[in-house]
Structure 1
Amino acid sequence: MTTWSLEQTSPDDLRPAAEPPGDVRIVRAEIPSPEFSRFLYTAVGGDIRWTDRLGLTYEQWQAALDRPGVETWVAYENGTPAGYVELDPQDEGVVEIMYFGLIPAFRGRRIGGHLLSHGVARAWDLAERWPDRPQTKRVWLHTCSKDGPHAMDNYLRRGFRLFETKTAEEEIAETPGPWPGARA
């Protein structure tokens, strides 16, 4: 598996995507909810084998969501969750886009670029909403060869620059999905 790390070092790096057609809204999930976050995680990452959080207990999910500055933004199309972006502030003005993606049925509808643009803009102004946080100096993320075929292109179009590439062997995990046999 190849993992690519990408970054922006200025709010001016962001190149926002056009808004998608139709009724698409992006709303912050203001109440940290392990149940909702796990739903988003498995629904978005199930077909691309996201597994790092599957073993977390309820308490561990809650602790991850309760960290100061962590925000989850959810895209809805016609009232239905379509995908999400989770922002994780780190030390010294660094914000990681910890998770980002769309539920498979919503991919290819121009929602991803819009959601990513929104998430990156929120990462850059995180200090405005969390006064104890330093001003954001860097926004970064990683993607890998398991992610969707348009992921890297979306990141590059939004103004991210590659700063590291790693290749490692990885065991193939069973597709977790939101439930066994879910449509990929």
Structure 2
Amino acid sequence: MTLLNLDGYTDLPAGKIAAVVTYLEMKERPAAPPAEPLPLRPVPAPDLAWYRSLYARIGLDWLWTSRLLMTDAEVAAVLHHPANALFVAEEAADAIGIVELDRRNPEDVEISFFGLVPGATGQGLGPRMMAAALGQAWQPETRRVWLHTCTLDHPGAVSFYRRCGFTPYKRAIEVMDDPRLTGAIPREAAPRVPLI
């Protein structure tokens, strides 16, 4: 295992990408939601093809790939787990956003995925969707809600989560094969991230 240089620059081999991951948490239910909650529809046992399509619509430009690299059995095990909750935001019966909560530890709830399709961003729906997500995440037994984002996500993600009441508590560096070069996703995805 090669460790990254903890000071200065560390070269990455061709075909690899790296991101700085920021973990954020909320240790108390907000006194007031960040905005009027956007209605969310629970999807208790989603069709895998439908889910992967929505996940890709939301995340390909941000290089979301974890669920695309999993087998159907692996994705089904997560999505159909009784402690996992998937919700969608809809507009004219079309899903435009997802919120996925991991409640395997009911005191420590992770917002594992949160995002809107590209055409729905910039319209003030994010704070409303987060208000609804927090309403679902905070249950009487919940002591903390947390999530993570990275430098491959929307550049305003950390400040958005902070405005919603989350506090950064940890950073990590994620290095992975560029999924555009492995064929996992289209080469034209995330054009702002150079292919090397």
Q: Is the 8 A contact 2:43 2:85 kept in 1?
A: yes
Q: Which structure 1 segments of 5+ residues have no match?
A: 128-134
- For residues 167 and 68 of structure 1, the distance between their equivalents in structure 2, rounded to whole angstroms, comes to 31
- Is the Cα–Cα contact under 8 Å of residues 28 and 73 in structure 1 kept in the other structure? yes
Instruction: Spell out the pairing of 1:27-176 with structure 2 (5 A cutoff).
Output: 27-91=41-105, 93-125=107-139, 135-174=141-180
User: Quick one: distance in 1 between partners of 2:88 and 2:47?
Assistant: 13
Of structures 1 and 2, the larger Rg is shown by 2
CA spacing shift, 1:18–1:150, aligned 2, 3 Å: farther
Tell me, which stretches of 5 or more residues in structure 2 are unaligned? 1-18, 192-196
* Deviation string, structure 1 residues 122-165 (Cα, Å, up to 9, x no partner): 0102x6xxxxxxx1111000000011122222211110000001
CA drift of 1:35 comes to 2.2
Gap change, CA 1:28 and 1:168, over 3 Å in 2: closer
TM-score by length of 1: 0.81
- Are the aligned partners of 1:14 and 1:159 in contact in 2 as well (CA < 8 Å)? no
Q: Aligned-pair distance for 1:68?
A: 1.9
Choose which of 2, 23, 34 in structure 2 pairs with 1:5. Answer: 23
Q: Is the 8 A contact 1:123 1:139 kept in 2?
A: yes
Alpha-carbon contact 2:60-2:190 (below 8 Å) kept: no
TM-score (ref. length: structure 2): 0.76
How many residues of Structure 1 are paired with residues of Structure 2 in the alignment?
171
Identity of matched residues, % = 31
